[in-house]
Structure 1
């Protein structure tokens, strides 16, 4: 199965082509969130170099969040369009699970996170089980104190040998992290980036979804939604309802 995967969740753009479990090529670019300009040319470059066309791809995969609101919409919209037009399979993968997949060590609690500013993080914790990162602390939008409480509660009931923080912003929280009950370490430079090749590997074992039902998973309300709620007084609902109303 040929899988074309992309991540536009952060300022690092990543596109990869996988053949089943094998990574054929991955291209990463720090483009300061200009994904709308760079994504299509990179996809074309990868396909051309491998003598493929979009119709030759069996499954499309994308990081659905958390991450940059604009970035996520670009990535999700792109794969929805490809899958709908070509009648191909599409899979959404958690950005945090993709981060956690960079650690293959057993018995290691991997806390994957993206700095959300003001001591807040988009974060979740994972354990490697049979080569797959399994979510054990739900992906969410956490203040650092709430996140560390959740980690300590997990450590009280489970005894992983190692604790690893992967992603962005954790190196600014050393004073708080030092209160944890288990010694910790930080991911390497490569581990702290989101790799489309890992998204492709995760997507191989996920159930495809209807392209029309694939939505970004922001993990918190956008400012537009907040403003809409204040203006209309209507309760928050699924993203699709909000999009239809505006």
Structure 2
């Protein structure tokens, strides 16, 4: 199965082509904030280099969040469009699960997160099982204290030898992390990036969805939604009200 995968969740743009479990090619552009200009050319470059047409892709995959609100919409809308026009399968993969897939270690709690500022994180925790990460602490928006409490409860009931923190912003919490009383380490610079090739591997066992039902998973309301709610007094609408339909 040929899988074309995309991550626009952070400022690191990543696109990959997989053949089953093999990552044929992965290209990334770090520190990009205008993914809408660079995503399509990067996809075209990969297809050209591999002498493939977009119609020859069997499944599209995309990081659906958490992450940058604007970035997620760009990636999700792009693969929705491809899948709808070509009649292909499409899957959404948690950004945090993609980060966890970079760590093959067993007996390790893999905590993945994206710095959401003010000691808050979009985060979750995973352990490896059956060849891929399995979620044991739900993806969510956590204050660091709440996240570490959840980690502490889990490691007290399971055979965990160490904890690895992968993603952004964890090193500044080292004082609190040490209070867990467990060996821990941080992800490498490469692990802390979201790799589309790993998204492609996770996509092989993910359940395809109708392209119209593929939505970003922000895990927190945008500031524009919050302001609108306070101004109008109207209830929040479903996520599809804020995502371009294709």
Match of 2:234 in 1: 234
Q: Distance in 2 between matches of 1:139 and 1:117?
A: 17
Q: Distance in 1 between matches of 2:243 and 2:231?
A: 15
Distance apart, 1:189 and its partner CA:
1.0
Q: Distance in 2 between matches of 1:236 and 1:94?
A: 23
Match of 1:81 in 2: 81
Structure 2 gaps of 5+ residues are: none
Confirm whether residue 124 of structure 1 aligns to residue 124 of structure 2.
yes
Secondary structure of the 2:156 match is helix
Q: Distance in 2 between matches of 1:145 and 1:203?
A: 32
CA contact (8 A) 1:66 1:122 kept: yes
The range that moved more, 35-44 or 151-160, is 151-160
Distance apart, 1:243 and its partner CA:
5.7
RMSD, aligned CA: 1.1
Match of 1:153 in 2: 153
Give the 4+ runs in structure 1 shifted more than 3 A: 241-244
Distance apart, 1:232 and its partner CA:
2.2
Matches within 5 A, 1:133-152: 133-152=133-152
Match of 1:107 in 2: 107
Q: Distance in 2 between matches of 1:237 and 1:98?
A: 28
Structure 1 gaps of 5+ residues are: none
Match of 2:7 in 1: 7
Q: How many residues align?
A: 244
CA contact (8 A) 1:152 1:181 kept: no
Distance apart, 1:181 and its partner CA:
2.7
Match of 2:168 in 1: 168
Q: Distance in 2 between matches of 1:34 and 1:148?
A: 34
> What do residues 157-188 of structure 1 show as CA deviations (whole Å, max 9, x unaligned)?
11211210000100111111111131210111
Distance apart, 1:226 and its partner CA:
0.6
**TM-score (norm: length of structure 1):** 0.97
Distance apart, 1:32 and its partner CA:
2.5
Distance apart, 1:242 and its partner CA:
5.3
**TM-score (norm: length of structure 2):** 0.97
> What do residues 135-173 of structure 1 show as CA deviations (whole Å, max 9, x unaligned)?
000000011011001101111211211210000100111
Distance apart, 1:241 and its partner CA:
4.1
Q: 1:209 to 1:230 in 2, by over 3 A?
A: same
CA contact (8 A) 2:123 2:142 kept: yes
Match of 1:218 in 2: 218
The range that moved more, 228-237 or 60-69, is 228-237
> What do residues 89-118 of structure 1 show as CA deviations (whole Å, max 9, x unaligned)?
000000000000000111110000001111
Distance apart, 1:33 and its partner CA:
1.4
